[in-house]
Amino acid sequence: MGHLKLQAVTKTFGNVEVIRATDLTIEEGEFVVFVGPSGCGKSTMLRMIAGLEEISSGTIAIDGRVVNDIAPVERGIAMVFQSYALYPHMTVFENIAFPLRVAKLAKGEVDQRVRRAAELLKLSDRLEYKPGELSGGQRQRVAIGRAIVREPSVFLFDEPLSNLDAALRSEMRVELSRLHASLGNTMIYVTHDQIEAMTMATKIVVLRAGRVEQVGSPLELFHKPANRFVAGFIGNPT
Ligand code: ADP
Ligand code: MG
pLDDT band for position 111 (cuts 50, 70, 90): very high
Interval between CA 121 and ligand 1 midpoint (Å): 32
Q: Is the ipTM, as predicted for this complex, more than 0.95?
A: yes
How confident is residue 53, by pLDDT bands cut at 50, 70 and 90?
very high
Amino acid at 33: V
Residue 237 is predicted with a pLDDT of: 53
Q: Which residues pair with 203 in a beta bridge?
A: 32
Q: 53: CA distance to ligand 2 center in Å?
A: 13
Pocket test for ligand 1, best of 10, 44, 207 (most atoms within 8 A of CB): 44
- In this structure, the number of other CB atoms found within 10 A of the CB of residue 81 comes to 15
Give the per-residue pLDDT at 81.
77
Q: Which of 9, 10, 18, 56 to mutate to test the pocket of ligand 1 (most atoms within 8 A of CB)?
A: 18
User: By alpha-carbon position, which residue is closest to atom 23 of ligand 1?
Assistant: 13
pTM: 0.91
Is residue 78 within 8 Å of 41, Cβ to Cβ?
A: no
Q: What is the mean pLDDT of the chain?
A: 92
The predicted-structure confidence for 197-223, as pLDDT tens digits, reads as follows 999 999 999 999 999 999 999 999 999
Burial 45-55 (b: 16+ CB within 10 A, else e): bbbbbbbebeb
Region of 147 (left: φ > 0; alpha: ψ -120 to 50; beta: rest) is alpha
Strands (E), 104-231: 154-158, 186-191, 203-208, 211-216
Measured by CA distance, the residue closest to atom 15 of ligand 1 is 39
Q: Is the CB of 38 under 6 A from ligand 1?
A: yes
